[in-house]
Structure 1
Amino acid sequence: MNPIEHIAQQFAAQNYKLTSQREAIVQVLLDNEKDHLSVEEVYMIVKLSYPHLGLATVYRTLELLTELHIVEKMNFGDGVARYDLRGDEQAHMHHHLICNVCGKLEEIKDDWLVDLESRLEREYGFTVTDHRLDFKGSYNTCKSTGCKKEKDCKAVS
């Protein structure tokens, strides 16, 4: 099943329709999955296909996608809400490395907190249903070369 069909099923399970406008917004997120787009960035991209689509519709759709746990609304310390698709292949949201020097954002797909979750359940009777962890710091190459922007940085793969 392709991702759009799967998301359409998630909408239907909650009695929502995946309209063509909503589908276009989801497709922008799928096409730019590694970019962690803001509302305004999604709007500018989707407006190319749907010129009459309003910014408010993009906001409402992204909030609905967040409510339905299809995307995760995130803030990486720059004051901008960004949206990240949640993958069904993982029980929890993935983690991020955020470089304070160049701004590079790298995803960590491995779930390193499984042992901690087990310990929390065992010692506190607390069952973790989700978690997200962001590591802020700097790459050695950024410190040594003094790069300031991700596009100019040698840490960028």
Structure 2
Amino acid sequence: MGDESDRTGKMTAALRKAGIRVTRQRIALLAVLAEAVDHPDAVELHERAKRLEPTVSLATVYRTLSVLEEEGVVHRHSFQGGGARFETTHEDHHDHILDIDTGEVIEFQSNKIEQLQEEIARELGYDVVHHRLELYCRKKL
């Protein structure tokens, strides 16, 4: 529960910093974002928020997501073969596996991959500033 509360607080502060009013509709959206363990798109977030606050509009969802992304508290993912999906920012870096049959997004972290990327960049004379790894997979039968 504490993590959700922290995420909600960070998103609320980001909206206020951007000069956006924190309405009942936005509070519902922030609650949905904070508790999401998947990577929902805007329409899914809208449907979930409407269960908490029926007056939430899709326009409010899009506008709020845009501001939260600009403020760096929400990540927009444009996974291949689909629309934008969202997640709150995490303290620790992670990568994604996308199940191409089900659309499920699985987060994972690998120290081996992180070390290898650093090593490759260093050998080529670079420092890694940012990277994103997405593996598109199919479950073995």
The TM-score by the shorter chain falls in which range?
A: 0.7 to 0.9
The runs of at least 4 aligned residues of structure 1 exceeding 6 Å deviation read none
TM-score, normalization: structure 2? Answer: 0.77
CA distance in 2, matches of 1:24, 1:51: 9
Partners of 1:8 and 1:17 within 8 A in 2: no
Q: Where do 5+ consecutive residues of structure 1 fail to align?
A: 142-157
Rg larger in structure: 1
TM-score by length of 1: 0.71
- Which consecutive unaligned segments of at least 5 residues does structure 2 have? none
Q: Note the 1:2-151 alignment, pairs <5 A.
A: 2-3=5-6, 4-12=8-16, 14-17=17-20, 19-20=22-23, 21-33=25-37, 35-88=38-91, 90=92, 92=93, 94-110=94-110, 112-117=113-118, 119-121=120-122, 123-128=124-129, 130-141=130-141
Higher relative contact order structure (alpha carbons within 8 Å, sequence separation ≥ 6): 2
Aligned-pair identity in percent equals: 26
The size of the alignment, in residue pairs, is: 135
Q: Secondary structure at the match of 2:60?
A: helix
- Of residues 96-105 and 69-78 in structure 1, the stretch that sits farther from structure 2 once superposed is 96-105
Provide the rounded CA distance (Å) in 1 between the counterparts of 2:73 and 2:110.
19
The 1:71–1:127 alpha-carbon spacing in structure 2 relative to 1, beyond 3 Å, is same
